[in-house]
Amino acid sequence: MDVKKLFMKQKMMRTVLVALVPILVMAIFLWGWRIIMLGVITVLTAVISEYLVMRTINKEKTKVSEAAFVSAALFTLTLPPETPVWVAIVGIVFGIVFGKTVFGGFGRNIFNPALAGRCFIYVAFPTQMTMTWAQPFKLLPGGFASWLPMESADAVAAATPIISHNAGEAPVALQDLFLGIIPGSMGETCAVLILLMGAFLVYKKVASWHIMVSTILSGGVFSAILHYAGVMSAAGVRVTPPLFLLLSGGYLFGAVFMATDPISAPKLKSAQIAAGIMIGIITVIIRAFSLFTEGMMFAILVVNALTPLLELKIKQFEDRKRLPAKEAAT
């Protein structure tokens, strides 16, 4: 078998992988080398899963999209550092098979495959996904000299900033939130790198800045309204302030890398802005008033499902606006 002919070449997807490299390096520093092992396993699982399913659809022209590598990389970076290997395998198989290939493969899926897999294991295996969080390394050589943070003598189990906030504990320093030296998923904590790589993707014209900006602004504004109005969350504490919302819980990672997925995201600019606004508002609502501490992945999947209808209605609205102008011109 010619390996080169096995994969569908996609320059855009390679650009996303390049953008993920600095975040991966930072993740190794924070959490150790285990992330590489986990990433290799999820990539292999994603490729094999997509190949097997696509082969049943068309044996003559079976190709694996390079997007499978991106989905596996994004999925891995959303996992807690100590996620069991078998849970990661189940998650990426679900994401590739039920989030992508059942719709006909690359270009036909309506859901972000990485998020579909992550959401599935989050709900199916809550003990493994939400109960234990490792404390990240903060000083060199950090994870570059370790397999996992818990191997360090001064590392202790910790709660994520959102969990700490809901428990009424002292707020996490904004500097720690900005730099990412907080308990959380492996690639979602370092806001500095995520924003820089988001700018890189926009510069390369790989991701929509309309979605990124509208998601960030809508979530920040809605969170500010609830917070300064004194609205209490389901945990019995005040709704989080906007800066805390944006810098915690993978919000920026979702806005930059997940919401901008070129297949599941809207194509019309006006629909992209509307989708971003919806994602921001839904995320705040889920975080504040549900039992789930993380709302971004659910919000993006909800908007993924609504995207075809959203684009249709916006297109119909824009066509109705153009009609009087055309009639006047004739």
In the chain, what percentage of residues exceed pLDDT 70? 91
Peptide bond into 141 cis (omega under 30): yes
Q: Which of 203, 300, 303 is nearest to 249 (CA)?
A: 300
Q: Identify any residues that bridge with 64 across adjacent strands, giving them in sequence order.
A: 7
pLDDT of residue 5: 59
Q: Identify any residues that bridge with 158 across adjacent strands, giving them in sequence order.
A: 133
pLDDT of residue 326: 60
pLDDT of residue 226: 96
Contact status, residue 299 vs residue 286, Cβ threshold 8 Å: yes
Could you report the per-residue pLDDT of 114-149, keeping only the tens digit for each? 999 999 999 999 888 877 788 899 888 989 999 988
Mention every residue, 6+ apart, whose C-beta is less than 8 A from residue 151. Answer: 32
DSSP per-residue letters across 82-96: T--HHHHHHHHHHHH
Mention every residue, 6+ apart, whose C-beta is less than 8 A from residue 12. Answer: 206, 262
Could you report the per-residue pLDDT of 264-316, keeping only the tens digit for each? 999 999 999 999 999 999 999 999 998 787 789 999 999 999 999 999 999 98
Query: Rounded CA gap, 195 and 145, in Å?
Result: 27
pLDDT of residue 155: 41
Query: Rounded CA gap, 141 and 32, in Å?
Result: 10
Question: What sign has the CA pseudo-torsion 3, 28, 114, 279?
Answer: negative
Other Cβ atoms closer than 10 A to 245? 26
**Helical segments of the chain, H only:** 3-6, 11-31, 34-57, 67-77, 85-99, 113-124, 126-130, 161-166, 174-179, 191-203, 209-228, 242-247, 251-253, 269-289, 296-329
Quick one: 112 exposed, middle or buried, by C-beta within 10 A (0-12, 13-18, 19+)?
buried
**CA contacts within 13 A on the Cβ side of 78:** 32
Domain extents in the chain: 1-158, 201-330
Could you report the per-residue pLDDT of 148-170, keeping only the tens digit for each? 885 443 444 567 888 887 877 77
Tell the residue number behind the tokens 């098979």, with chain if given. 97
Query: Rounded CA gap, 23 and 77, in Å?
Result: 9
Query: Rounded CA gap, 76 and 91, in Å?
Result: 10
Question: Terminal CA-to-CA distance of the chain, rounded, Å?
Answer: 61
Cα 246 to Cα 76, 98, 184, 209, distances in angstroms = 21, 30, 14, 16
Both structure tokens of 235: 């945990």
Could you report the per-residue pLDDT of 177-209, keeping only the tens digit for each? 999 999 889 999 999 999 999 999 999 999 999
Q: Which of 164, 148, 320, 136 is nearest to 249 (CA)?
A: 164
pLDDT higher than 80, residue 248: yes
